[in-house]
Amino acid sequence: MKSYQEMTKEELLQEKEALEAAYAEIKAKGLSLDMSRGKPAAEQLDIAMDIFNVLDETSILKAENGTDLRNYGVLDGIPEAKQLIAEMVGTKPENVIVYGNSSLNIMYDQIARAEIFGLCGNTPWSKLDKVKFLCPVPGYDRHFAITEDFGIEMINIPMTEDGPDMDLVEQYVNNDATVKGIWCVPKYSNPQGIVYSDETVRRFAALKPAAADFRIFWDNAYAVHHLYDENQAEILNILEECEKAGNPDMVFQFCSTSKVSFPGAGIAALSASPANIADIKKRLTVQTIGHDKINQIRHVKYFKNMDGIKAHMKKHADIIRPKFQMVDELLKAEIGSRGIGSWVNPMGGYFISFEALEGCAKAIVEKCKEAGVVLTGAGSPFPYKKDPKDSVIRIAPTYPSADELKEAAEVFVTVVRLVSVDKLLENK
């Protein structure tokens, strides 16, 4: 197929006419579709319903260490839940604190605590003139919303196929003491699905931060969220690598079962070095008496161990893989072939990150919306919602049904073609 770039003005005008007719037809349908939400489909939630039937009286009454799980106490999580989480992210139970239902809330708390009290005895960030965070882009909008809320200056770091541009990361972290953190989704990154290479992880671990309280916010949100049985990504263990490199306290790792069991009714956890864990517990004990231990034991009884989690995640994959494949195939056929966009076909995670021709993202999202297809706002995957090239669009294929997704994706590719033609015509 001829790429749009190769087309003459006349050819483009012809294409535009056909696409506008197609677009008018689509609009006439009065669609109401949504590809914006990184949520599991109801079908995925159905597979974990037995979690509500696993508790018998004995298991509710007592943890393995004899604790009555129905009463107050246990600040850092019950031992068997710490074990399960440790297996999930590849660390030791003593490095884990199990919280409530939201890993985002844990990240927020870590930033809030750094701002108010400081980390491990360092100056509270709120007392400093300037605090900066590095933000690999495109990235997760809710990460950026937290740092924005606290008035932390965010610096874009471009992503490569191996993770963030580490030359740039090293340059900032090792030389600028106002750089206090970096947001990372190391496995199946949100939204690109990129997996950090071993080299990238090692370079992270070997950073020589100018700031003593620089922390990597390692959001291992998709640790077990593979789409395929083969080619499952494994990343190096960041806690271990940091320890080996003499930087044991440089990382906070986050994870949850939100997209394993249920969003909102899962369990979430932080893992970090003993010094960080002690620093956190000192404050956490003022903040709460403890989290929901019954939901913790519920997860332990249901999943049992890492094998249980893997088997369960395979069921998720079987449901959502065809959706990802369908979108990928449609993009290949309609967009890739015409040279008007690029994307990584992800092996896991929850998103496809589409990169349109420069200056087209906002127009595509807008035109899709006019045709009844909601996409994540253009700019969302960037700090301050500003995509410097106006080209990235996050596609979330999981939530709609296969039929709805197909219809929405077809609208999307038509709109991408139409907006791309318009863009190319500007320079003819």
**104 near its own copies, judged by CB under 8 A:** yes
Candidates 21, 116, 275, 311; binder of its own copies (CB under 8 A) is 116
Cβ closer to its own copies: 284 or 357?
284
> What is the C-alpha separation between 183 and 111, in angstroms, rounded?
11
Q: Confirm or reject binding of residue 263 to its own copies (CB under 8 A).
A: yes
Q: Closest CB to its own copies among 106 and 216?
A: 106
In sequence order, the β-bridge partners of residue 133 are 154, 181
Residue 220 or 258 having the CB closest to its own copies: 258
> Could you tell me the smallest distance in angstroms from the CB atom of residue 116 to its own copies?
6
Q: How many whole angstroms separate alpha carbon 66 and alpha carbon 14? A: 75
For residue 389, count other CB atoms closer than 10 A to its CB: 13
**381's tokens:** 């995957």
CB-nearer residue toward its own copies: 203 or 293: 293
The nearest distance, CB 285 to its own copies, in angstroms, is 8
DSSP letter, residue 16 = H
Q: Under a CB-based contact definition with an 8 Å cutoff, are residues 119 and 279 in contact? A: yes
Tokens standing for residue 16: 């535009």
Q: Is 400 left (phi over 0), alpha (psi -120 to 50) or beta?
A: beta
Q: What distance in Å separates the CA atoms of residue 351 and residue 216, rounded to the nearest whole number? A: 23
CB nearer its own copies, residue 28 or residue 42: 42
Closest CB to its own copies among residues 4, 125? 125
Query: Tokens in use for 124?
Result: 């509270």
Contact status: 293 vs its own copies (CB under 8 A): yes
Q: Which is nearer to its own copies, 284 or 378 (CB)?
A: 284
3-state SS class at 39: coil
Which position among 29, 92, 283, 389 is part of the footprint of its own copies (CB under 8 A)? 283
Q: Which residues contact 333 (CB under 8 A, 6 or more apart)?
A: none
Identified binder of its own copies from the candidate list 28, 66, 234, 264, rule CB under 8 A: 264
Side-by-side strand order, sheet with 341-343: 341-343, 352-356, 392-395
Please list the alpha-helical segments (H only) found in 160-273. Answer: 166-175, 198-205, 238-244
Instruction: For residue 73, state whether it binds its own copies (rule: CB under 8 A).
Output: yes
- Using CB under 8 A as the binding rule, whether residue 72 contacts its own copies is answered as yes
Residues numbered 24 to 63 that lie near its own copies (CB under 8 A) are 37, 39-40, 42, 45, 49, 52, 55, 57, 60-61
Q: Of 34, 292, 366, 404, which one interacts with its own copies (CB under 8 A)? A: 292
Name which of residues 353 to 372 contact its own copies (CB under 8 A). Answer: none
Interacting residue with its own copies among 225, 291, 312, 323 (CB under 8 A) = 291
* Polymer length in residues for the chain: 428
> Smallest distance, Å, CB 397 to its own copies?
16
Helix (H, G, I), strand (E, B) or coil at 345: coil
Nearest distance in Å: CB 404, its own copies: 16
Closest CB to its own copies among 28 and 286?
286
Q: Number of helices and strands (H, E) in the chain?
A: 14, 13
Considering beta carbons, is residue 116 or 275 the nearer one to its own copies? 116
Residue 199 sits in the site that holds its own copies (CB under 8 A) = no
Taking the C-alpha atoms of residue 387 and residue 378, their distance in angstroms, rounded to an integer, is 7
- DSSP string over 67-100: --TTSS--TT--HHHHHHHHHHHT--GGGEEE-S
Residue 412, CA distances (Å) to 25, 29, 167, 369 in order: 14, 15, 35, 10
Residue numbers 140-169 binding its own copies by CB under 8 A: 142, 145-146, 149-150
Q: Which stretch binds its own copies (CB under 8 A): 99-107, 235-243, 306-314, 372-380?
A: 99-107
Please give the order of strands across the beta sheet that includes 153-160. 96-98, 268-271, 251-256, 215-219, 179-184, 132-137, 153-160, 163-164
Q: Which stretch binds its own copies (CB under 8 A): 67-75, 132-140, 322-330, 403-411?
A: 67-75
- Of 94-102, 190-198, 208-216, 336-344, the segment contacting its own copies by CB under 8 A is 94-102
Nearer to its own copies, 71 or 305 (CB): 71
Please calculate the CA angle 78-82-88 and round it to the nearest 5 degrees: 150
* Beta carbon of residue 288, minimum distance to its own copies (angstroms, whole number): 4
CB of 52 to its own copies, least distance (A): 6
Amino acid identity, position 267: I
Residue 377 contacts its own copies per CB under 8 A: no
- Residues making contact with its own copies (CB under 8 A): 37, 39-40, 42, 45, 49, 52, 55, 57, 60-61, 68-74, 100-102, 104-105, 108, 112, 115-117, 126, 142, 145-146, 149-150, 258, 262-265, 283, 286-295
